[in-house]
Amino acid sequence: MQIVTSLPDLRTARLSLTGRVGLVPTMGYLHEGHLSLVRQSQAECDHTIVTIFVNPTQFGANEDLSKYPRDLERDLSLLRPLGVDVVWTPSPEIMYPPGYQTWVEVEALTHPLEGAMRPGHFRGVTTVVAKLFNATQPHKAYFGQKDAQQAAVIRRMAVDLNFPLEVVVCPTTREADGLAMSSRNKYLNEAERKAATVLFRALSAAKDLYEGGERDAEKIRAKMTEVLEAEPLAQMQYVSCADYDTLEELDVVKGKALLSMAVFLGKTRLIDNFVLG
Ligand code: PAF
């Protein structure tokens, strides 16, 4: 496994890879969800590049970038046994050289849901992901369904900017009790960790309603709200039942829909989603 930091070293490493290359972009502090993306890349491509970069431009002013968990040695020890070819760990100065002023922005898809709660977040994500695509030149790039809007926005960007690659969205990896894996779960204390299953419970209750024949989106949103409000440690930020492609809120569920939510457990903000239909 080659571990490279500078751009020239990455380019040399990339040139040594022949055949199909898969990219797994991460912000590190890897968990089983990231490793499942790596495994899928390994199964579908000849080589895999993993990037580890805590991207400052996708954090809001009220989101503590300096507290984001980091442990490079642990990350590398998790990647080595998987046979990853290259790990790129660029510095912020490489990704954002002095005088930086170039941004990639997807429009309507970034306005609702996470985009409404975290202004500027997706501009940071699409900019860094475009730069990672340029630098690593992958044939396929792997993202988790847990960040459903991020996946949709990156897919849109890849089409709109004619990136010659396939964006692959992989299923959410969950703990045994249903909690979606996330680097942020580490912030939860014992009581919050127990209460955090409420996201999965709320999504499951809404899905049961849908599978029982309910198509009124307001009733589906109300069911998620009811389950979340019954958990004293949870503070709901939003629930949504939206069109899968446009992410616009639905009145009636007809085709594919995205159920999603953001919930605070103490100071920790968690998101999760299910796809219906
Ligand atoms: O999902 C993440 O970890 C990040 O948003 C990504 C895609 C690596 C961009 O920084």
pLDDT in tens, the chain (277 residues): 999 999 999 999 999 999 999 999 999 999 999 999 999 999 999 999 999 999 999 999 989 899 999 999 999 999 999 999 999 999 999 999 999 999 999 999 999 999 999 999 999 999 999 999 999 999 999 999 999 999 999 999 999 999 999 999 999 999 999 999 999 999 999 999 999 999 999 999 999 999 999 999 999 999 999 999 999 999 999 999 999 999 999 999 999 999 999 999 999 999 999 999 9
Q: Kindly state if the Cβ of 33 falls inside 6 Å of ligand 1.
A: no
> For 18-155, where are the E strands, in sequence order?
21-26, 47-52, 86-88, 140-144
> For the chain, where are the E strands, in sequence order?
2-4, 21-26, 47-52, 86-88, 140-144, 166-170, 234-243, 257-265, 268-276
Which atom of ligand 1 has the smallest separation from the CA of 26? 8
Q: Kindly state if the Cβ of 129 falls inside 6 Å of ligand 1.
A: yes
- Compute CA distances 244 → 92, 100, 109, 201, whole Å: 34, 34, 11, 21
Task: Name beta bridge partners: 265.
Answer: 234, 268
Of 274, 261, 205, nearest to 234 (Cα)?
Answer: 261
> For tokens 């790596």, what's the residue?
38
- By three-state DSSP, how is residue 84 classified? coil
Q: If 0-12 CB within 10 Å is exposed, 13-18 middle and 19+ buried, where does residue 197 land? A: middle
- By three-state DSSP, how is residue 233 classified? coil
Neighbours of 259 (CB within 10 A): 26
Q: How far apart are the first and last CA of the chain?
A: 41
CA distance linking residue 43 with residue 51, whole number of Å: 18
Which atom of ligand 1 has the smallest separation from the CA of 129? 9
Domains of the chain with CATH codes: 2-170 (3.40.50.620), 183-276 (3.30.1300.10)
Q: Kindly state if the Cβ of 128 falls inside 6 Å of ligand 1.
A: yes
